Structure 1
Amino acid sequence: MCGIAGIVRWKKQPDSDAEIQRMTAAVAHRGPDGVGFYRRDGVALGHRRLAIIDPELGVQPMADEDKTVWITYNGELYNFRELKAQLKSKGHRFVTDCDTEVVIHAYQEWGVDCVTKFRGMFAFAIADFRQRVLFLARDHFGIKPLHYRVGNEYLAFASELSALRKVDDAPPTGSLQAVDLYLRYNYIPTPHTIYHEVYKLPPASYMVIGFDGDRSGPVKYWDVQFRSKNGLSERDWEERAEETIRDSVKAHLVADVPFGVFLSGGIDSTLVAWQMSEILKTPVRAFAIGFNEQQYSELAYAEEAARGCGVELHSEIVRDDALQILPDLVAHYGEPFGDSSCIPTWYVSRLAREHVPMVLSGDGGDEAFGGYWSYVNWMNADPILEARQLMRSAIQSTRQLAPRAGFYWLRKSLKKSLQTFLKNGNELSEWQKLVLYIGEEHRRALWRPEFHNAMASSSEVFKNADVKARKWNRLAYAQYLDFQTYLPCDILTKVDVASMYHGLEVRTPLVDRGVVDLATSLPTLQRFRRDQSGKAVGKYLTKKVLGKVFPDEFIHRPKMGFGIPRAEWFYEGCSGRRLWDQVTVDESAPLYQFFKRDQVQALMDVHSPKHDNSGALWLLLVMGIWLGQNPEISFS
């Protein structure tokens, strides 16, 4: 894993490496093993390397044999050896054993379509001096980040937003609409960033930028497709799932350095750890984080999982003074990012990096196999379910009425049931009620009146996902929206920044084309069903697979997630409250440029065990820290 940066200028060409050196230095933490630059014809490429495969020869930026195609690349291709053999059969020659060179030759052979052949995580830029174009691409799921800034006669790109602030130009302009999206969703969804002129390249997308400034894209080259297959028995599905997940874990273990696994004790990380222990001959090192507040700590389950998988567990307790790293972490994210589980992710990454430079994680299992509580709530609100319940009630009621009255009541209930049944259950507005952090009414109360026009009704990525997903069943609709929004914009972003802060590579075998192809082909009942008592069971298939080695009490316990004791840490005398006071107590605090002080303080005043405002408080705390760190940014 690495950090990349670069710029193409189509008029004023830089006369030194100073600009690209500053940009690359901003992502130095992502690659402690090496640094490189290349500048030519208005194009400058920079690279910071974390050496995982072929440490000796995989130096970047890298070029082809005749030095006309150059690349700066961040990621890992898990099928690079198969692609290399295919390319060799077509006459390509290689001088390294790293995947970076395979990407170059794949581009030469297949052009921009090369990305459709890759299995892995990647973000890269190829400068093609024959075609005089810059080719930017990002992996299928958005595991690796890629941001770009469009300026006057230039386009710059980088792994992190901080590098784009180092371009020879005035600071970018802040976006008030992006701030409102952040308050709405807990993150700023693709393609937006906190800046008007800076964007996130969406997952499974590429762009082509001419050296003359002509630009095409982003172009989407792949997408998740839900196509349920029938005809297989439960046993068949279990065998296929175990085989597919094991194949993915094995592919993700290709490395020339030691590695381990994040082990929370949840279904997904335990499944990955178990498969690693089955594949490897040497003991697997696992890493876990716990809290003193037992209701938030899964450490006991991580210990049970480690024993069951036969792995060596390293653990650490995160206390409330852990928030001392929050300002530094806010700076690394480069824009307001509201997922508070970035804190334990930072600490477990630090713990792992003390032992290994690379780990596997269980991220993506909930999206693929239907594990979130939001899916349970969504399925419980299914209009079809409501229609059935109306019919049952109507039939029971008619039995207790006179025939004529009973017929009238049944007819009326039938009409209402039919209207409910025919209603399109996949409504974006209804889904967003389940995933919003601060609703419209409360956001309006927070914003100062002169900024009410900044309030966003939704975002492009949600609207586009809604249009495509409406044709699928209710569960697939929710999963698809998460694949387009929550997974790349929150989960994968959180892990990338918190882990690369320490120069730790995190690989996600459940966010893999083979695993997702399997998951999206499952009948709904293999992902979500109800037991005999009517209780919802998410991730049904993966729980069945893991149930081969773990007891029901471990498998079917309530889902906890990877949260922090956020509510408690905001109580009087705790670290969250102290940090809040530092950021908000001053009447001239940056937060009050845009938000009403009395409304902000009211959220804290009523925060208590019976009235938990910690979600909104955390978002405003992060926003206030970010504004204080960036006083030079003006907003519009």
Structure 2
Amino acid sequence: MCGISGLFNINGINGNLLEFRRSIDVVSYRGPDDYGTAYFQVNSDEARLIERSIGQEMAPQQQATLALGHRRLAIIDLSRNGAQPMTIKDQGLWITYNGEIYNYIELREELLKLGYSFRSQSDTEVILAAYAEWGEECVERFNGIWAFAIVDLRRSILFCSRDRLGVKPFHYYSDGERFVFGSEIKQLLNYSFVPKKMNERAIYEYLMYSAVEYGEETFFTSIFKLQQGQNLVVNLLNGSMEKAVYYSPDLKKNSSITYVEAGNEFRRLLSNSVRLQLRSDVEVGSCLSGGLDSSSIVCLMNRQLQDIQKTNIQRTFSSHFEDEEANEIKYMQEVIRAIQVDANYVFPTEADLLDNLHRVVWQQDEPFGSTSIFAQWFVFKLVSESGVKVVLDGQGADEMLAGYVGLFHYYFTQLKNRKRYPTLIYEFIKYANLHGRPQVPLPGGITGIILRKLSNQFGPSGFAHSTDWINKDLSHQFKDKSAYIKSTEVNPFGTLNDLENKLYQLTFINNLQTLLRHEDRSSMAFSVEARVPFLDHHLVEFVFSLPSEFKIRDGYTKRVLRDGMAGILPEMIRQRVGKLGFATPERKWQRTILKPLITQAINSEQMQPFIMQSQATEYYQQLINSEATDFSPWRWLNLFLWMDAYDLA
């Protein structure tokens, strides 16, 4: 992984070179191994390189209209041959790139047969050759994660692209005359011409729905994200910009596949994804939370290393809290005993939380929904301190395989709407026996009445939620303009497929995009590349081709994963019901170590446009006096700290 940066001004960029260099330096942690810049002059008379430097800064001696910057984290081809910005001979093409193309070896062989030659072993050079051969359609051949910008001097354009699932970030600002981009929002804030203004609608969505990802907008009104599966082309002669979707997932359902066949194919596709994502010239470790997803990756990785007799090099990285609400140690240890890996643990304390609180808020660029991110933060810190630069992680499976308990509501509703009443009653009873009292809304009508009566025998729910504390003026302004609510109305599978529609929304629109941003910022803060095998697009499309009953079955979530991993996962993991992931004791923290800060946020003048002090204070006290969980107090605090971190108050 790396940090990328770019600046274009049709009238010249020399007056903003200091800001450009700052935009690269502010993300030096994304690429501590090398540094490079390239400057170009592009106008109606000529399009040429002016200056390129690697490892040192050399300002252009002539007027330039375009600059590319790069901070390198060396993963493949560790030599200077892999340095960026990179070009290929006689093609007039230059690139700054963040990511990994996992099938670069196969593409390289194909391009060699077409007459291309390579001076490096990097995947970066393969991207350039692929663009030279296939143009903008080259991205359709890539299996990987990427955000890049290619300067095409032949066509006088800047071609930008982001991977299919949005693993790697690409943010930009454009005003018709200037275009700037970067891996992180904070890079763009270094430019004096980029307005530093809060997006109040984004703040409303965050406070009301805990939503931070649902489209191209960010928490800054003038800064946007290139969305997953999109290309963007900037005309370097007139400054115009055009975006295009190059990837839409194939959502055709496979009605002929059997459940057993589905489990076998799932296992094959995930195994192949892990195999490809182990390609690296540095050590690859793995995150282990003790859940189904990370455990599957760790165990499949172990199988791959067994084949080449290298299991002795496998290392896992985990966080552990003693508090019961976040304690997963027994599950981690079960996996570790089963495959005998080198296990590494971090034990974050309350003092660690407070010491890192402000940095994490700054690092993330935008507010986030809960403190669970801190467990992941400390894991990546441990990875870096252990000298590992690449890890595999289990992100993505919950969204496409219905891993969240709350998704039973959508499955029950889908069964009701399809009038599959015997299956509905059967699945509800199985669910209730495994999970206790439903923590999800039940369908309406006579079926809902029956289910509610059945649910009375199970234990109480532990969650509370209120938004009565939101500023009335803010709510009045945006309640009928919610982009997040609109995103939840996207129904590509039609009206009778409630669960599949929700999984699509979670995967391609909101929840997963949020988690991928968390993972990118937290891993790159410590110069670590995080890879996500579940998000190989072949596997994602296969999962979406399966019927809902392969995902939720007999009261279990992610059933096709569980059965596909039989014989690989320890049974204690494969059959577990509870789900925490990299969790933190948030309920305890809200009532103890974070209480003074939350109180400060509630009473601050900066928060008055967004929350009502008396109502927030009252609701917070209700939470403290009860055992209920609600992440609202964290959102108040996070918003307050974010405004302070970016001087927005």
CA 1:482–1:437 in 2, change beyond 3 Å: closer, same or farther? Answer: farther
Structure 1 match to 2:618: 602
| Letter paired with 1:569 | W
RMSD: 2.7
| Residue-by-residue CA offset, 1:326-382 (whole Å, 9 max, x unaligned) | 211111111222242211110011111122111001111112322221221221233
CA 1:345–1:437 in 2, change beyond 3 Å: closer, same or farther? Answer: farther
505, 513, 520: which one pairs with 1:496?
A: 520
Structure 1 residue ranges, 4+ long, deviating more than 6 angstroms after superposition = 390-393, 436-439
**Which whole-Å CA distance do the structure 2 matches of 1:289 and 1:209 have between them?**
44
Percent identity of the aligned residues? 27
**How big is the shift at 1:323?**
2.2
Structure 2 match to 1:63: 87
Structure 2 match to 1:43: 66
564, 579, 587: which one pairs with 2:584?
A: 564
CA contact (8 A) 2:166 2:227 kept: yes
**Which whole-Å CA distance do the structure 2 matches of 1:76 and 1:37 have between them?**
20
Q: Which runs of 5+ in 2 are unaligned?
A: 42-64, 426-444, 450-462
Structure 1 match to 2:409: 377
Structure 2 match to 1:265: 290
**Which whole-Å CA distance do the structure 2 matches of 1:492 and 1:150 have between them?**
24
Structure 1 match to 2:10: 10
CA 1:266–1:450 in 2, change beyond 3 Å: closer, same or farther? Answer: closer
**Which whole-Å CA distance do the structure 2 matches of 1:171 and 1:375 have between them?**
40
286, 292, 303: which one pairs with 2:316?
A: 286
Structure 1 match to 2:270: 245
**Residue 384 of structure 1: SS of its match in structure 2?**
helix
Structure 2 match to 1:529: 553
Structure 2 match to 1:361: 393
Residues 1:342 and 2:373 are matched in the alignment: yes
CA 1:521–1:16 in 2, change beyond 3 Å: closer, same or farther? Answer: closer
**Residue 538 of structure 1: SS of its match in structure 2?**
coil
CA 1:196–1:367 in 2, change beyond 3 Å: closer, same or farther? Answer: same
TM-score by length of 1: 0.86
**How big is the shift at 1:601?**
2.0
**How big is the shift at 1:485?**
2.4
CA contact (8 A) 1:292 1:319 kept: no
CA contact (8 A) 1:261 1:285 kept: yes
Structure 2 match to 1:396: none
CA 1:10–1:476 in 2, change beyond 3 Å: closer, same or farther? Answer: same
CA contact (8 A) 1:367 1:482 kept: yes
Structure 2 match to 1:22: 22
198, 206, 220: which one pairs with 2:245?
A: 220
CA 1:456–1:46 in 2, change beyond 3 Å: closer, same or farther? Answer: farther
CA 1:341–1:162 in 2, change beyond 3 Å: closer, same or farther? Answer: same
**Residue 631 of structure 2: SS of its match in structure 1?**
helix
CA contact (8 A) 2:471 2:609 kept: no
CA 1:437–1:15 in 2, change beyond 3 Å: closer, same or farther? Answer: farther
Point out the more displaced range, 206-215 or 55-64: 206-215
CA contact (8 A) 2:414 2:498 kept: yes
| Letter paired with 1:240 | E
Structure 2 match to 1:318: 348
Residues 1:541 and 2:560 are matched in the alignment: yes
Residues 1:200 and 2:225 are matched in the alignment: yes
| Residue-by-residue CA offset, 1:211-264 (whole Å, 9 max, x unaligned) | 134434431111223333244444333322222111110000000001110011
Residues 1:474 and 2:498 are matched in the alignment: yes
CA 1:295–1:547 in 2, change beyond 3 Å: closer, same or farther? Answer: farther
**Residue 32 of structure 1: SS of its match in structure 2?**
coil
CA contact (8 A) 2:396 2:512 kept: no
| Residue-by-residue CA offset, 1:132-167 (whole Å, 9 max, x unaligned) | 111111000000011111236101110000000012
CA contact (8 A) 2:16 2:191 kept: no
CA contact (8 A) 1:365 1:510 kept: yes
Structure 1 match to 2:182: 158
CA 1:177–1:15 in 2, change beyond 3 Å: closer, same or farther? Answer: closer
Which residues in structure 2 correspond to 1:44-443 (within 5 Å)? Answer: 44-56=67-79, 57-66=81-90, 68-151=92-175, 153-169=177-193, 171-183=195-207, 184-280=209-305, 281-282=309-310, 283=312, 284-324=314-354, 325-355=356-386, 356-382=388-414, 384=416, 387=419, 442=467
**Which whole-Å CA distance do the structure 1 matches of 2:226 and 2:484 have between them?**
13
**How big is the shift at 1:456?**
5.4
**Which whole-Å CA distance do the structure 2 matches of 1:450 and 1:264 have between them?**
39
**Residue 318 of structure 1: SS of its match in structure 2?**
coil
Structure 2 match to 1:409: none
**Which whole-Å CA distance do the structure 2 matches of 1:478 and 1:451 have between them?**
25
CA 1:383–1:560 in 2, change beyond 3 Å: closer, same or farther? Answer: closer
**Residue 320 of structure 2: SS of its match in structure 1?**
strand
**How big is the shift at 1:489?**
2.5
**How big is the shift at 1:520?**
2.0
Point out the more displaced range, 356-365 or 327-336: 327-336
**Which whole-Å CA distance do the structure 2 matches of 1:456 and 1:203 have between them?**
26
Structure 2 match to 1:429: none
Point out the more displaced range, 277-286 or 132-141: 277-286
Point out the more displaced range, 451-460 or 97-106: 451-460
565, 575, 578: which one pairs with 2:593?
A: 575
CA contact (8 A) 2:270 2:534 kept: yes
CA contact (8 A) 1:181 1:456 kept: no
CA contact (8 A) 1:263 1:270 kept: yes
CA contact (8 A) 2:493 2:500 kept: yes
CA contact (8 A) 2:198 2:648 kept: no
| Letter paired with 1:372 | Y
| Letter paired with 2:597 | L
**How big is the shift at 1:630?**
2.9
CA contact (8 A) 2:146 2:167 kept: yes
**Which whole-Å CA distance do the structure 2 matches of 1:544 and 1:163 have between them?**
45
**Residue 482 of structure 1: SS of its match in structure 2?**
helix
| Residue-by-residue CA offset, 1:585-612 (whole Å, 9 max, x unaligned) | 45x3x21243322223223222236363
**Which whole-Å CA distance do the structure 2 matches of 1:297 and 1:213 have between them?**
57
**How big is the shift at 1:560?**
1.9
**Residue 203 of structure 1: SS of its match in structure 2?**
coil
**Which whole-Å CA distance do the structure 1 matches of 2:78 and 2:408 have between them?**
46
**How big is the shift at 1:58?**
0.7
**How big is the shift at 1:470?**
2.6
496, 503, 513: which one pairs with 2:537?
A: 513
CA contact (8 A) 1:192 1:200 kept: yes
CA contact (8 A) 2:30 2:524 kept: yes
CA contact (8 A) 2:414 2:497 kept: no
**How big is the shift at 1:114?**
1.1
CA contact (8 A) 1:3 1:47 kept: yes
**Which whole-Å CA distance do the structure 2 matches of 1:391 and 1:137 have between them?**
44
**Which whole-Å CA distance do the structure 2 matches of 1:81 and 1:595 have between them?**
54
Q: Which runs of 5+ in 1 are unaligned?
A: 394-415, 421-435, 531-535
**Which whole-Å CA distance do the structure 2 matches of 1:471 and 1:48 have between them?**
47
**How big is the shift at 1:537?**
1.3
**Residue 468 of structure 1: SS of its match in structure 2?**
coil
